[in-house]
Structure formats: C-alpha cells, structure tokens
Chain A
Amino acid sequence: MIELVRAELLKVRTTRLWIGMAIGAVGLTGVSTILFLALANSANAQANGIHPIVTTEDLRTLVFQASGTLAFVLVLAATMATSEFRYGTASGTYLAVPSRMRVISAKSLAAAVVGLLYGVAAATMTVVIAAIWLAVEGKSVPIGAAVIGAIGQEGLRCAYGAALAVGVGAALRSQLVAILGLLGWLFIIEPLGVALLPRFAKFMPFAGVGGAFGHGNESAVLFGWAGALGLAVVWIASVWASAVWLERDRDV
C-alpha cells in the first residue's frame, strides 16, 4: 500500500495542478490573514468576532478564520480521482493494480497527505504573516502550544476533506460534477442546512466534523472533539465504501 500511495503522490507531483492549487490556497489564506489583521482594530470588525491579536487564543482563532485552503484541497483531491477517467489513465492504473479498492484507498491516503501539507503550509503562513505584522507594530507575538495545535488541526481538517473528496470523485467519475458538487456543498448547501436545520449541523460532514479541527462552535460539535473525530471517520468510511462499491463493478 505504501508503494501505491507513493505512486499517487508521484502522479500529483508530475502534473502542474498542485502548484496552481497551492498558490491559490496560500494566496487566499495570505490575503485573508492580512485583511483580518488590518481590520482587527475597527469596532465594526470586533463586533463580528475579529479581534486584535493579543493572546495565544486570538492567534489560534485567526488561523481558523483566515483559512482559505479547504476549497482548493477539495478541488485537487477530487481531481486526483476524476482525472483518471477524464484522461483515460484509469485503464493503466487498473492494469497495474487490478484491485480497485486498493487504488481508491491509496488515492484517499495520498490525498490526505497532500491535504495535510496544504493545511499546515497555509496555517503556518498565517502565523508567519501575523508575526511579521505584530513585529512591525512593535507588539509581542503570542505563539504558544495552542497556535501550534491550530496549525495541526488545520492540516487534519484539510486531510479529512481531501480523503472525502477522493471518495466523491471516484464515485461520481465526472470532474465537473464532483468539483461543483463539493464546492456547492461546502459553500451553499451545508451553510443553508446549518441555518435551516441547526439541530443537524453536528452531523454534517464539514460543519459537524469541523468542530474536531477547531472550526466548529460548541453547539455544532457532536459529543466533543472525540465525537466529531468519530463522525469524520464515519463520513470518510461511508464515502470510501460507496466509491469502492460503485467502482468495483464498473467497466473502464
């Protein structure tokens, strides 16, 4: 399995999409970070939960608020699965590895690794920008364990999203449908669901699971972070099993 994960990572490295997505993720996160820092002193912003960075908790919150990585990770991970069908490379992949379950598993693991790296890189950049900003203002930089933990949580959130997106991509096969579906879910359907059915928010794949990775509010976390982590496993396993089940009997 390790070799297959290596192969999937090599597939990502040998095309250019990952560069574009990395630039997008890091760029958006960087711009968001600068905007949050610039607006932090305005009364209007503070009324909306944007605070000057004084404590470790403030910086930790900024890491989550400024993050624009997940959408790019979802696109990249879905493409890892769907490009095999778009370009017809699935034939070669299945000739080398006839077990489709192993292929989808390897893709999910590889995507999780990529998502983790993206999440950590973008979150680290938020901290670096904040540190420079605060240093320029002559303020101390409140880096502590909670901030380091937030970087790790952001990495895990993106790893989770990537694993989920591979399953969606493998199940749907169509690149356009998978990407539009994932982004539509992330930005439209789930926020609507949270607003209209708040009681069910804790079960939703991003709102509910986000709690385990620092993005949920208290009411959206199912049985605390451990419960949300369990929910993440259930979501990944469900989507993975659906993809394997659908792909097993399909012709290539």
Chain B
Amino acid sequence: MSSQAGAAPAIEASALTKRFGSTVAVDGLTFSVPHGSVTGFLGPNGAGKTTTMRMLLGLAHPTSGSANVLGRPYTELEQPLASVGAALETTGFHPGRTARSHLRVMCVEGGLPADRVDPVLERTGMSAFATVKVGEYSLGMRQRLAFAAALLGDPSVLVLDEPANGLDPAGVAWLRGFLRRFADDGGAVLVSSHLLTEVAEVADRAVVIDHGRLLVEDSVAALVNAGGESVIVRTPNPAPLTTAIRDAGGTVQDGDDGALSIRGISIERVGELAASGGIVLHELRRETATLEQAFLALTTPEMPG
C-alpha cells in the first residue's frame, strides 16, 4: 500500500442522491474521506449508509450527484481490487464454495496474482478454514472472509460495512488494531458501524447521517467535545442541592439511578454548594460526553412535550 497522504481525498461524495420511487434514501450527501484516516460512517438503521457505500462502489446508481474514489468513479478504476477493498455484506458467498476457491476466483477476476490468497487467509485468521465450504461458516467467519476478500488486492482504500458484526472480542480488537495501522500507513478507511464505542476507539473522523442527509462531518474529538462535560452527583437529599445549583446558574437533569446530571457549573463549585448546604453526597464525579451520546443527541428526535 502506498501512502497518498496530502493528495486529494481518497473518497469524495458530492451531492449524492438516491431515490427509490418516492422514497429518498440518500439526499444530497456530500462528504470526503482523506488518506491516512479512519472515518466512521454513522447513522441509525435505515439512514442510508449501505446505499451510500454501494453508490461509492458503483453497485448502485445515484439518482443524481457523484462519487469518486481515488479521483474517479469506481467503475473507471483500472484495477479496482488493487485500489479499493470493500466488505459490504457477509452473504455474498456461494455456500458451496470454499474460502480459498472464493478468493481464487476473485484473484482471476481482478487480475491479481493467485499467491495473494494464502497470505490474506493467514492475515485474517482463516487459514484453518480455507477448505471448508462457506455454507458451514459462522457469521464471524464470513465476516473474516469478507475482510480477506477486501485485502486481496493490497488496496489503499477500505470501505467496510459493519465489519465488527459477528466477530468475537479478540476479532474486534484485531480489527481495531488493523484499521489503525492501515490508516497510520497512509490508507483511507470508511467504516460504518453501530458499535459506536468501537468506532470511537479507532476512528479519527465521523460522518453522521440520518434520513439520507448529512448531520455532521467532523473529527471524533470535536464531536465528543461538542457534547461537553457534566457533573454526576448522587445524594439522598436532591431537592435542596438542585435548588442551590440552579441558583448558582447550573442546569440539573435527573440521571440514571437517582443521580443528578449537572451542567453549567464546575465540579468544584458543585462540591462547595453541597458542603455549604450541609448536603450529604454519595457520589461526585465528572463525566465526559461519549461518541454515543453525541450520536444520540444528533440523531434522536426530541420527544414532544
């Protein structure tokens, strides 16, 4: 894999739109994935993530807009498998074919040397199952095979749809480490996942969509920081503390298990207010927003009051 950091984005979607009849699955989506980064592609179920990925890869046709991979539409890449590795689904295998046969077919189709097969099987931990028919695979094994297929051409761009689905904890940890190293070596990764903690641990950037529309495209750090900090307090006597905090300019929300979630004033000030009011505290801690909270704040519609 050659480093292309500093060049044009590895993936660029521009006003990408896809309609299925009267349903707008993807609505004017514009975002990019730079080299040397892992970009999390986030959104609730049905947000349009998979459709978008399929359009990026030329498998689905945009109603309007365009998508470029390495500066041109995927369908115009000279040797696509050597440029882009994609793992979109765990069902795209003939159940009667072995993993080795599946990869051998891909090598011949993609103009890749057949000696690529064994190294990627080894790399993805599939060597022991290379001659087992795919129909006998578990979801995790299929996921690994999909990933092996994506790596077959030693690409510089990876497009992965829910790659951690079905993997065991060791597999997830391996995947996380692999994607990090891949990006650190200059590769570009676009990875969709509903496992936000996994994305938060590996992704530098996040593209969040809902109802096919872009909600935010930013660094994961910026997204999390936008969620801010809160102070969590647990007390057997919440009423006077709530009043004192509100009088001091803070906001109070009921948290989990009777805890109070406080924003707008520092943890030190909360402690001082409790001490001055003689209020017993069972817990006092700072809580930083998580990617999950930021995601939920962006994608969860407010409940009508």
Residues of A within 8 A of B (CB): 3-4, 6-7, 10-11, 14-17, 83, 87-99, 249, 251-252
In the complex with contacts A10-B104, A99-B75, A16-B61 CB distance below 8 A? no
In the complex with contacts A7-B105, A251-B54, A95-B59 CB distance below 8 A? yes
| Smallest CB separation, A106 vs chain B (Å) | 9
- B97, A15: Cβ atoms closer than 8 Å: yes
- What 3 pairs between A and B have smallest CB-CB spacing? A14-B101, A98-B75, A96-B109
**A7-B105, A10-B104 provided; 13 other pairs, C-beta below 8 A?**
A14-B101, A15-B97, A83-B94, A88-B89, A88-B91, A91-B92, A92-B92, A92-B106, A95-B81, A96-B109, A98-B58, A98-B76, A252-B59
- Complex Cα distance A87/B91, Å? 7
- A94, B58: Cβ atoms closer than 8 Å: yes
CB proximity to A under 8 Å, residues B75-95? 75-77, 80-81, 84, 86, 88-89, 91-95
- A251, B57: Cβ atoms closer than 8 Å: no
In the complex with contacts A10-B105, A96-B106, A91-B59 CB distance below 8 A? yes
Question: Which of under 10, 10 to 19, 20 to 34, or 35 or more describes the interface residues of B?
Answer: 20 to 34
Partner of B86, one of A14, A95, A99: A95
Residue B111 at the chain A interface, CB threshold 8 Å: yes
B75 — which chain A residues lie within 8 A by C-beta? Answer: 98-99
Q: Which of chain A's residues has its CB closest to B108's CB?
A: A7
**A–B Cβ pairs within 8 angstroms, 10 of them:** A7-B108, A11-B97, A83-B94, A87-B94, A88-B91, A88-B93, A90-B92, A91-B59, A91-B92, A95-B84
B105 — which chain A residues lie within 8 A by C-beta? Answer: 7, 10-11, 14
B106 — which chain A residues lie within 8 A by C-beta? Answer: 92, 96
Name the residue in A6, A89, A93 with the highest tally of chain B Cβ atoms < 10 Å from its Cβ. Answer: A89
- A98, B80: Cβ atoms closer than 8 Å: yes
- A10, B108: Cβ atoms closer than 8 Å: yes
A88 — which chain B residues lie within 8 A by C-beta? Answer: 89, 91-93
| Smallest CB separation, B25 vs chain A (Å) | 10
A87 — which chain B residues lie within 8 A by C-beta? Answer: 91-95
Q: Which of chain B's residues has its CB closest to A249's CB?
A: B61
- B101, A4: Cβ atoms closer than 8 Å: no
Q: Which of chain B's residues has its CB closest to A10's CB?
A: B105
- B109, A93: Cβ atoms closer than 8 Å: yes
- A89, B92: Cβ atoms closer than 8 Å: yes
Q: Which of chain A's residues has its CB closest to B51's CB?
A: A251
- B111, A3: Cβ atoms closer than 8 Å: yes
- Complex Cα distance A251/B101, Å? 26
| Smallest CB separation, A168 vs chain B (Å) | 20
- B80, A96: Cβ atoms closer than 8 Å: yes
- A96, B110: Cβ atoms closer than 8 Å: yes
- Complex Cα distance A3/B110, Å? 9
- Complex Cα distance A23/B109, Å? 28
- B89, A252: Cβ atoms closer than 8 Å: no
- A91, B109: Cβ atoms closer than 8 Å: no
B74 — which chain A residues lie within 8 A by C-beta? Answer: 98
B92 — which chain A residues lie within 8 A by C-beta? Answer: 87-92
B119 — which chain A residues lie within 8 A by C-beta? Answer: none
Q: Which of chain A's residues has its CB closest to B73's CB?
A: A98
Q: Which of chain A's residues has its CB closest to B146's CB?
A: A92
A93 — which chain B residues lie within 8 A by C-beta? Answer: 109
A94 — which chain B residues lie within 8 A by C-beta? Answer: 58-59
